Homo-oligomer: A and B are copies of this chain.
Amino acid sequence: MTMQGHALDLARDKIRGTGARMTAPRVQVLAAMLGTQRVLSHRDIEDMLGAARLDRVTLYRVLDWLVEQGLAHRIAGRDRVWRFSATGEAHETHGHFQCNRCGKILCLDELSAHSVPLRLPAGCRPERTELTVTGLCAECTV
């Protein structure tokens, strides 16, 4: 409860900082993301909200907005589902691990995408390097 209260306050601060409107959906979604270490899918967040349910489309739009504002980052897994995280700053550049069985994504904070030496075809303008290791997570290893 204290933890959740803190996440709510933090979420409100961050949203206030953008200068845009502070709305219940934005606060709730960002607080949910701040309150966990996990990388959450749209569906994960829907489930977490439970009672405070909000429209599917609104959730998609809030997530897009959080990414635009730099308050969250978006990760593409091999299951072709977007996942979102609000923790840390270096997330744009570090690698991720995705479990082939349960789909869970972990952040590999020590694995920097910047350490990869780029040599691109002529004319290509790189924007971002994504580094994803797939395999089995500790819980799914038999």
A: which residues have CB within 8 A of B?
76-78, 80-81, 95, 97, 100, 106, 108, 110-111, 115-139, 141
Contact = CB atoms under 8 A, between A and B. Distances in A.
A116 B119 contact: no
A89 B39 CA distance: 33
Contact of A127 (B100, B116, B125, B130): B100
Given A76-B80, A110-B119, 7 more contacts: A80-B80, A97-B124, A125-B135, A127-B134, A127-B136, A128-B135, A130-B130
Nearest to A130: B132
A131 B100 CA distance: 16
Contacts of A77: 76
